[in-house]
Structure 1
């Protein structure tokens, strides 16, 4: 049985963040910056620029994500943080049906998962999501929102599942609040007395 631990992405774990992002999908080139900037800004950044931006984020007092370790090897990543900092979310028409004001800093978003190919099928997304909820709660989030894919209704390629899978969020206690597309949901989890 493998030992799985999940830790905040910090400056001293930046190499582990890079390892987790490099094992499949677009994580290595994106550096989990897709949701952090509008498209015009994205188009003007290189992979090296995005890596520098992520390095700055993990050096901040509140980590922008978490790293999953399997037997000590960095195996996965999840981005979780104030939704207001994830600029592209507010400018994505598909997500306009959010029940929360876009300028509310107490609403956090889980917006990206990466699991290295060799560690898939071990339930790491659920473990990362549970840890992301705990991280958000510990840092003052009132609500957590996400935009997962409903896999049975989708023909998306595997790389497009980085935003999460609906069934994982529902199993973790999130509720669906909108369905902007047949295969895409908006879900939320209200934390500790939130209305």
Structure 2
């Protein structure tokens, strides 16, 4: 049985973060900057510039994500942190009017992006990453964790790239409750981790 460990994305693990992000899907070009930038800024940057932004973000701390390792190999990634640091979330119509929490509340954290390398898909890494993200957010002072998963069973079939939000079933299994359904295939979910 494979040994799975999950660690914060720290400066010493930057190369591991790159390995996890570049194993299929849009991670290589996005560099997990989609939610941290306005659309105009994101579109204006090259992949190399986005990579430098991620390097700077990780160097500045606190860790903006967690990295999953399978038998010591970086295999997956989840972005988790204060929702206020992920500016595009509040500008996304499907989420902006669907949350129960004020957008300027630093105690509301968001799980916004998963990446799992192709060779490790189907092994339950998203669920493991989500469990670790919940613990990480709780330890970091989050009051509420919010996420924006897709429901692959509602509407058209989703490609692996479209599942980077995570799936509703994974969040439901982790105890998140559905707050809103702005589209049949998109949910806003929430988990209170402290009063």
Question: Which residue of the partner structure matches residue 179 of structure 1?
Answer: 181
Describe the superposition over 1:34-91 as per-residue Cα deviations: whole angstroms up to 9, x where unpaired. Answer: 0001111111111011001100111123100000000000000000010001010010
Question: Which residue of the partner structure matches residue 129 of structure 1?
Answer: 130
Shift of 1:188: 0.3
- The reply to whether residue 8 of structure 1 matches residue 14 of structure 2 is no
Question: Which residue of the partner structure matches residue 166 of structure 1?
Answer: 168
Q: TM-score, normalised by structure 2?
A: 0.97
Describe the superposition over 1:74-128 as per-residue Cα deviations: whole angstroms up to 9, x where unpaired. Answer: 0000000100010100100110211000001100000000000000111000000
For 2:76, what is the secondary structure of its paired residue? Answer: strand
Question: Which residue of the partner structure matches residue 41 of structure 1?
Answer: 41
Question: Which residue of the partner structure matches residue 86 of structure 2?
Answer: 86
Shift of 1:185: 0.2
Aligned pairs for 1:57-76 within 5 A: 57-76=57-76
Structure 2 gaps, min length 5: none
Instruction: Kindly report structure 1 stretches of 4+ aligned residues shifted beyond 4 Å.
Output: none
